[in-house]
Amino acid sequence: MSNVSTTNEIDANVLLGKQLYDWYGDSAEWRNFLGDPMPNWEDLPEKIRTHWCCVAEKVVSSSSVLYCIIGQIKRDRDFMRTMGDTVRGRNLSLAITKLEEALLWLEAYKIRI
């Protein structure tokens, strides 16, 4: 993401930041690290909400990089499959198998492209 954010990017970061905060609250039974009740999103200080929005931006950015990697893995797999029609060999089959395993692992964690 560029240094200049559009209104839609800002809105998306706020929505995701709030969702991440809510998920954190759910997993922590809405208690902070001191054991005190966590405030609602709207009651958080602006600085804390901004930090959650920055985390959201990093999650989206990291996801974009990961999706590019997954796309490359799929393209490599598909290329190897076409090569497999002309060049039969154990090493090529093993490479295809490893790529398939990587894609299955990513899909198991709901990482899709």
In a domain, 2, yes or no: no
- Tell me how many domains the chain contains: 1
Q: Are 67 and 75 in contact (CB under 8 A)?
A: no
pTM: 0.54
pLDDT tens string 1-32 = 444 455 555 688 899 899 999 999 999 999 99
In a domain, 57, yes or no: yes
In a domain, 113, yes or no: no
In a domain, 48, yes or no: yes
pLDDT tens string 46-99 = 999 999 999 988 887 777 766 777 777 777 777 777 766 555 555 666 677 777
Q: Give me the domain span that covers residue 77.
A: 7-108
